[in-house]
Amino acid sequence: MYAFNPGVIKIEDEYLMIMDVASLAQPVIFWLARSRDGLNWKIDPEPLDWPVSDHTHAEDCVYDPRITPDPDHDGAYLLMYASSSEQTGCRLGVVRTYDFKKFDRIGIVSEQGNRNGVIFPEKINGKYARLDRPFGDPNDACGIWISYSPDLIHWGRSQEVMGPRAGLWDNLKVGAGCVPIKTDEGWLNIYHGVTNTGAGLIYRLGVCLLDLEDPSQVIARGEDAVLWPEHLYELTGRVPNVVFTCNAIVEADNSVKIYYGAADTCIGLAESSIDRLLDACFRKNSLILRPSLKA
C-alpha cells in the first residue's frame, strides 16, 4: 500500500495525520495516523469511517485532505478534499468532525472540475473563504482562485488570485497547498506549482503572501521554489517528480513542519521557520535572465 499527500493537524500535544492511501485493489481512501512528536507515527488499524455520498455525486475516490479548525464551531475541524466520481468528475467536498472518528458530510461544494480546495482558518469579512483550483482539460494551464460562503455550501464572489508564470518553475499550473498561515505581514500560503518538461511534469512547492483583509490580493510571491524533487523517493514512484503538500504545522517557536507527499508513494517532512518562508516570498532569482531596458 502507498501513503501520500497527508492533511495534518496538531491538537494540544498530539499530531493527527489523514493520509491518502492507495493499493492495487482499491481507489484512494483516507487513513488516520497519530503521533506525539510529529516524527514517529502509529497508524490506526482500519481506514476512516467515511460518510456515504449521495446519489447526485457517487463518490468513488477521495484524496488530498486539508484540515482547518472550524472558525464557527468550537472544537470542530473542517476537511476540504477532492471528491472524484466516474459520473460527475472531480469536485470539492467538505465534512466536519469533532473527534476524527465520526465525520458529518456538509456536501459537495463545487462544480465539476475543481480540486486543491483549502478553507481559511478565519472568516474574511464574516464569510468562510477558500482557495481552490478550477480546471477544464487536465492538461490546460490553471491557477489559484478564491471564493466566499456564508454556510460552507453556497460559494460565490469567485476571482483568480494568481496564475502560472512564464519561464519559471510554476509555468503550467499553480494550486493551493497548506491551509493559509496568518502572520503579521499577511496570509502565508505554501502552494504547489507544475511545469512540463521533456521528462514529464514536475511538482514543486513555493510561497506567496496574501493580504489579510482581501486575500485575493498578492502582496509578494517568491521567484524560487522552496522545495523540489531531489531525493530518490521524490523522483521515482507512482507519479514521479512530485512534492505536494496539504498542511503545515506552526510550532510554538515559529518553526514550521511541512508534511508532503513524495511521488504519490510515501510521505516526507521538511522543516523551516515562519521568518525564512516570509523572506522567501520577497526573494528574486538573480540568475534569471531579464530583458535589458533601453534609455
pLDDT of 295 higher than 60: no
Half-sphere exposure in the Cβ direction for 19 (13 Å, CA): 27
Structural domain total, the chain: 1
pLDDT in tens, 199-223: 899 999 999 999 999 999 999 999 9
Predicted confidence at residue 294, as pLDDT, reads: 45
pLDDT at 199 (0 to 100): 81
- The verdict on residue 257 lying in a domain is yes
Cell of 147: 471564493
102: three-class secondary structure by DSSP: coil
DSSP annotation of 247 reads E
Given a cut of 80, whether residue 24 has pLDDT beyond it is no
290: in domain = no
Q: What is the CATH number of the domain that holds 169?
A: 2.115.10.20
In a domain? residue 293: no
Angle at 153 between CA 96 and CA 99, to 5 degrees: 5
The grid coordinates listed for 3 are 501513503
Q: Which residue has the cell 531525493?
A: 231
Mean pLDDT calculated for residue range 161-182: 96
Q: Is the pLDDT of residue 290 over 70?
A: no
Predicted confidence band at 158 (pLDDT cuts at 50, 70, 90)?
Answer: very high
Q: What is the DSSP letter of 253?
A: T
The verdict on residue 289 lying in a domain is no
Average pLDDT, the chain: 94
Phi, psi for residue 42 in degrees, rounded to 5? -115, 120
The 10s digit of each residue's pLDDT in 55-80 is 778 898 999 999 999 999 999 999 99
The per-residue pLDDT for range 128-138, each reduced to its tens digit, is 999 999 997 77
- Beta partners for 78? 68, 96
| pLDDT at position 21 over 70 | yes
- Answer yes or no: is 142 within a domain: yes
Domain limits for position 48: 2-282
Residue 287 belongs to some domain of the structure: no
159 within domain boundaries:
yes
Q: What is the pLDDT of residue 58?
A: 85
